[in-house]
Amino acid sequence: MRLLTNPMNGFKYAIEGVVHVFRTQRHMRFHFLTLVLVLVVSLVFKLTREEVIILLFTISLVLTAEMFNTAIEAVVDLVTQTYHPLAKFAKDIAAGAVLITTINALAVGFLLFPGGDRLKMVGSTIGMHSPDWPTIMIVTFLLLAVMITMWKVAGGKGKLLKGGIVSGHSAIGFFLATTIMFMSRKVSVGIMAFLLAVLIAQSRVEGGIHTLREVIAGALLATGIACVVYTVLSPVFPMK
């Protein structure tokens, strides 16, 4: 049993569980990739805040079911390594739960996109209506977080919250700086925001947590995603 002497240990162990499932389960990696694609599509189709909430809840159900499936398989394998009908039923039922949540996710996706005539709506409203900027910003941040997580875990270097082949702190700093630049529409404010982001990146290098290449990778990834979303996929901050 793990002793939770530090309140943050519970959070750390939970992160370790997510990382383990991602590294060991091919289906989980596929779900994460699907999550990236779904978030991009939600930006392209300019979903409303309510639709994004439904979409995120549906995705969370699939990921949670996959993690429970992995946990049940691990417990069954711990109890017995030989064939037993009850062990088979336990694994089959857990896999069935994943199947049900996946079918539900497909149904939700169909109702939100093709079933809801979203293609026609997008074709007739591009450039005419501005989407809800808090929703766009949150979805973009989630997209960035998922991509950083996949990159860090796939790299197999360092930990998810510290180290790794890309700097998450640097990415968050430059994402916020880019967002501030688009929101303010002022060069001076944008320069100050990016200078603060550079200070964050520099602290990661000076602390020996990341190399210069890793903080640059995080900065480019975050800035690139933010610029593409805000100017191409869902131009929520039209520049004057």
Residue type, position 93, single letter = I
The pLDDT value recorded for residue 12 is: 77
Could you say which architecture CATH assigns to the domain 10-129? Orthogonal Bundle (1.10)
> What φ, ψ does residue 129 adopt, rounded to 5°?
-130, 140
For the cut 60, the answer to whether the pLDDT of residue 24 exceeds it is yes
The pLDDT value recorded for residue 204 is: 85
Digit-coded pLDDT (tens) for 28-51: 888 888 888 888 888 887 788 888
The pLDDT value recorded for residue 110 is: 80
Digit-coded pLDDT (tens) for 161-220: 666 778 888 999 999 999 998 888 888 888 999 999 999 888 888 888 888 888 999 999
**Residue spans per domain, the chain:** 10-129, 130-235
Digit-coded pLDDT (tens) for 128-144: 445 577 888 888 899 99
Residue type, position 61, single letter = L
Q: Give the number of other CB atoms < 10 A from CB of residue 101.
A: 21
Question: What stretches of 45-186 show up as alpha helix (H) in DSSP?
Answer: 49-79, 85-112, 118-125, 133-155, 168-184
* Residue 154 vs residue 217, higher pLDDT: 217
Point out the catalytic residue in the list 16, 66, 73, 214: 66
> What gap in Å lies between CA 193 and CA 156, rounded to an integer?
31
Helices (runs of H) and strands (runs of E) counted in the chain? 9, 0
Structure tokens at 50: 């309510």
The pLDDT value recorded for residue 157 is: 61
Q: Which single residue is written with the structure tokens 């916020």?
A: 176
The pLDDT value recorded for residue 120 is: 52
Q: What is the pTM of this model?
A: 0.73
Digit-coded pLDDT (tens) for 93-134: 988 998 899 898 888 888 877 655 555 555 454 444 455 778
Q: Is 66 labeled as catalytic in the residue annotation?
A: yes
